[in-house]
Amino acid sequence: MRTEAGAADPGAPEPMEAEEKPAPLLWPGLALAVGGSIAFSGKAIIVKLAYRYGVDAVTLIMYRMLFALPLFGLLAWWAGRGKPALTRRDWLVVSGLGFSGYYLASFLDFAGLAYITASLERLILYLNPTLVLGLGALLLKRRVTRRQMIALAVSYCGVLLVFGHEVSFQGGDVALGAGLVFASAASYAVYLVLSGEEVGRLGALRLTGLATSVACLCCIVQFLLLRPLTALAVAPEVIWLSVLNATVCTFAPVLMVMMAIERLGASTVAQTGMIGPLSTILMGVVILGEPFTAWILAGTVLVLSGIWLLTKWR
């Protein structure tokens, strides 16, 4: 097993005689992690902008996935070169994971964004680690410690704070939107919990490419079943926003986060991802004109604190 850079190796020469190896640079990995987190967060902003042109969730997500399908299909092919072909069981598992983790989660998220602000949407989605913890306890019988329960309580208090503030100003539709986005986070948490074994067998990039390609096809079929072909006629701005969403806010951040994990490890990348909610709030204020209040600030601090505690204590 390799020793870490700078660690003592019993078989190595004395320090004076050994050739010093330069320590690996951290900034490329950090730049990739931060960039990926911000790019992911931009998805909500683009969706909110597209809704201003009268498009619905079914049509909007179809366009996003239509433009993303060739990219993820190419990723699945590239990551699968020289590897065994998928078995029937593999295809069934990949299809199930793609349906839950990308199709259902994406559609519910898009639908929820029609009713709530981008800031609240990002805070709800950032509860994902807490849902993974709960599903692990429920499905895999993993023990949840008292400290983890405290971290969960802190995070959910933050979301409830922002949720209560929005309900008081925007009415009952906020509850519907928040429920849809929370269901989206739960659907993706199911994907994360159940995909562990398949990641080990197929590899993260190959599984992501295959599962997302399945989700893209589901979104296209959903549109063909629920909408007439005349619904393809949308404002040119919707097309360009969908291209931007598919490339900059969907495909690119997947690669960036995977590359960051290779350089920094999953734990560090997860903590770096805390910039996501902050960037969404900032973009929501600057681009969408959403209000920035003390309630949103307090809720964000609570959510990020809870997730940080959860990551630390796990």
Confidence of residue 170 (pLDDT cuts 50, 70, 90): low
- Considering only CA atoms, which of 208, 200, 194 is closest in space to residue 132? 194
Element (H, E) at 97: helix 88-98
pLDDT in tens, 28-57: 778 888 888 888 889 999 999 999 999 999
Q: Which of 92-106, 121-135, 188-202 is modeled with the greatest confidence? A: 92-106
Classify residue 91: in a domain, yes or no: yes
Classify residue 142: in a domain, yes or no: yes
Classify residue 211: in a domain, yes or no: yes
Task: Compute the Cα dihedral for 192, 194, 200, 201 and give only its sign.
Answer: negative
Q: Residue 13: is its pLDDT beyond 60?
A: no
**HSE-up of residue 122 (Cα within 13 Å, Cβ side):** 30
CA 171 to chain centre: 28
Give me the pLDDT at residue 66, please.
95
Classify residue 8: in a domain, yes or no: no
Classify residue 3: in a domain, yes or no: no
Segments forming the whole domain that contains residue 207: 28-313
Confidence of residue 172 (pLDDT cuts 50, 70, 90): low
Taking residues 193-221, what's their average pLDDT?
87
Confidence of residue 6 (pLDDT cuts 50, 70, 90): very low
* Residue 182, CA distances (Å) to 75, 79, 155, 175, 300 in order: 29, 32, 13, 10, 16
Can you give the pTM of this predicted structure?
0.78
Classify residue 20: in a domain, yes or no: no
pLDDT > 70: percent of the chain: 84
In the chain the beta strands, taken as DSSP E runs, fall at none
In this structure, the number of other CB atoms found within 10 A of the CB of residue 196 comes to 10
Give me the pLDDT at residue 15, please.
42
Contact 86, 94 (CB under 8 A): yes
Give me the pLDDT at residue 4, please.
39
Query: What is the SS3 assignment for 273?
Result: coil
Confidence of residue 8 (pLDDT cuts 50, 70, 90): very low
Taking residues 215-227, what's their average pLDDT?
95
**Single-letter amino acid code for the residue at 32:** L
Judged by average pLDDT, the poorest of 9-18, 57-66, 129-138 is 9-18
Classify residue 19: in a domain, yes or no: no
Domains contained in the chain, number: 1
Residues in the chain: 314
Q: What is the CA radius of gyration of the chain?
A: 21
pLDDT in tens, 243-282: 999 999 989 988 888 787 777 766 666 666 667 777 888 8
Q: Which of 169-173, 257-261, 298-302 is modeled with the greatest confidence? A: 298-302
Mean pLDDT over each residue of the chain, to the nearest integer: 81
Give me the pLDDT at residue 129, please.
75
Q: Residue 2: is its pLDDT beyond 80?
A: no
Classify residue 136: in a domain, yes or no: yes
